[in-house]
Structure 1
Amino acid sequence: MSRLTQGVVLLLFGGAILRASLTDLYLRYVKEGLRPFLIATGLLLVAAAVMTIWHSWRATEQAEHDHEHHAPRVGWLLLLPVLGLLLVAPPALGSYAANQAGSVVAAPVGDSDYPPLPAGSSVELTLIDYASRALFDEGRSLTGRDLRLTGFLTTAPDGAPMLARIVLSCCAADGRPIKLGLTGLAPIDVPADTWVEVTGVYTSRRGKDPVNNVDVAYLEVKSWQEVPRPKQPYA
């Protein structure tokens, strides 16, 4: 690949990273806290690209020109994934990824009791917090409270709806789902990947994720409503 081609690839790749990191697009790939590192990486790539292109134009030796003239054109194929990142924004991981991977194991807090939930007519919880309290605290801190949880819909092997969200350790490549079973007035015949906010109460019912056989907590749904996909789709 010629030096000019290398510079163009670096420039487009750095520009794609900057475009994603200066908007909310990067949240589809990595956790929110990695934004400064993405911006720094994009700036470094753009700077390296500018220097590479400048040196290419400054080159005056005929041998170098001949080499560049006969360089394999296949090198330009490296632009395809970069252009894809610039022109096409893939969706965040959803129901397909959730169905292929086993649910994460909600971790207990340790030997201490779970703290009481905040006061209010209903309490907003993450899926991980609910699953942890339901499975390891026997729902003691959940009983008698209306709970609000937000996630996307996916389907259990028996066709029943489940509420899910993808949990990231670092980036989308290591994403794993946290899944909750739904009983009561659960969303029925609603397309997968629809984002919903469900309001419900604790139930002692449990199931098993058929992918990795871990325990799955359930929520008894009292009501639900469709909501837009959140800016940060991952947990």
Structure 2
Amino acid sequence: MNKLTQGVVLLLFGGAILRASVTDLYLRYVKEGLRPFLIATGVLLVAAALMTIWYSFRETPSDSGEHGHEHEHHGPGVGWLLILPVLGLLLVAPPALGSYAANQAGSVVAEPVGGSDYPPLPAGDPVELSLVDYASRALFDAGKSLDGRELSLTGFITTAPDGAPMLARMVLSCCAADGRPIKIGLDGRTPIDVPADTWVQLTGVYTARTIKDPVNNVDVAYFEVRTWQEIPEPKQPYA
């Protein structure tokens, strides 16, 4: 590749990153808090690309004449493959990790908060909780802060080893490549005949039942469902 071509490819890379960052597309790849870093990276790449293109046009014939033949032959054509991930980012919106990824990995271990007591839930029912928060309170606080409250959980449907529906959501440490599921078993009026990957919002109450995840043998909390409804996939699919 000559300098002009390198600059164009770099410009496409930076533009693709900026496009993903200023829309919700970046949420398919990384955590929400990384957006400022992506924007800064995209701006730097675009700036470097524009400088490269500018220098390629400023280059005089005498600068390149001595090595003209070398420039004509350029580098290996495989360099053009760099354009493929750019096109993929520009043209294809990948689906969020779902039930297949959840079934292949063990549930994350919900960590207890500092101290022995969990803070009380906000007033008003139902209280909307993340799956991680619910699992942590159910497993490490014996449900004391959950008992007697109507709760609301949101996630996608996946399948337990026995074929029963479970609720799950992928948890990211940094990006989708390190995503792991948090899984919640379901009792009561569970969603029936709902395809895997369907997003649902459940209301119900705490139940003390737990099972072991057969993938990594960690405890999985249960939730007693009273009502449920299908919902669109949220803008931020990851926890």
Shorter chain as normaliser: what TM range?
Answer: over 0.9
Hey, what's the Cα distance between the residues in 2 that align with 1:64 and 1:94?
A: 53
Name the structure 2 match of 1:6: 6
TM-aligned CA deviation for residue 217 of structure 1:
0.2
TM-aligned CA deviation for residue 147 of structure 1:
0.6
Secondary structure class of the residue paired with 2:216: coil
Hey, what's the Cα distance between the residues in 2 that align with 1:206 and 1:215?
A: 6
Counterparts of residues 142-221 of structure 1 (less than 5 Å): 142-221=146-225
Count the aligned residue pairs: 235
Preserved contact between residue 102 and residue 177 of structure 1 (Cα < 8 Å):
yes
Task: Return closer, same or farther for 1:191/1:140 CA change in 2, 3 Å cut-off.
Answer: same
Name the structure 2 match of 1:70: 73
Gaps of 5+ in 1: none
TM-aligned CA deviation for residue 181 of structure 1:
0.5
Name the structure 2 match of 1:40: 40
Secondary structure class of the residue paired with 1:26: helix
TM-aligned CA deviation for residue 101 of structure 1:
1.2
Structure 1 stretch displaced more, 59-68 or 158-167: 59-68
Give percent identity, aligned residues only.
80
Secondary structure class of the residue paired with 1:83: helix
Secondary structure class of the residue paired with 1:50: helix
| TM-score (norm: length of structure 1) | 0.95
TM-aligned CA deviation for residue 175 of structure 1:
1.3
Cα deviation code 1:198-221 (max 9, x no counterpart): 011111110111111100000011
Name the structure 1 match of 2:107: 103
Secondary structure class of the residue paired with 2:18: helix
Hey, what's the Cα distance between the residues in 2 that align with 1:107 and 1:50?
A: 47
Name the structure 2 match of 1:18: 18
Name the structure 2 match of 1:56: 56
TM-aligned CA deviation for residue 163 of structure 1:
0.5
Secondary structure class of the residue paired with 1:196: strand
Hey, what's the Cα distance between the residues in 2 that align with 1:5 and 1:64?
A: 17
- The one-letter code of the counterpart of 1:67 is E
TM-aligned CA deviation for residue 65 of structure 1:
3.8
Name the structure 2 match of 1:28: 28
Hey, what's the Cα distance between the residues in 2 that align with 1:53 and 1:83?
A: 20
Preserved contact between residue 93 and residue 172 of structure 1 (Cα < 8 Å):
yes
Preserved contact between residue 5 and residue 75 of structure 1 (Cα < 8 Å):
no
Aligned-CA RMSD value: 1.3
- The one-letter code of the counterpart of 2:14 is G
Task: Return closer, same or farther for 1:87/1:198 CA change in 2, 3 Å cut-off.
Answer: same
Structure 1 residue 112 corresponds to structure 2 residue 116? yes
Q: 85, 91, 94: which is aligned to 1:90?
A: 94
| TM-score (norm: length of structure 2) | 0.94
Hey, what's the Cα distance between the residues in 1 that align with 2:225 and 2:70?
A: 68
TM-aligned CA deviation for residue 47 of structure 1:
0.8
Hey, what's the Cα distance between the residues in 2 that align with 1:65 and 1:195?
A: 59
Preserved contact between residue 5 and residue 76 of structure 1 (Cα < 8 Å):
no
Hey, what's the Cα distance between the residues in 1 that align with 2:162 and 2:220?
A: 14
Hey, what's the Cα distance between the residues in 1 that align with 2:69 and 2:88?
A: 31
- The one-letter code of the counterpart of 2:162 is D
Gaps of 5+ in 2: none
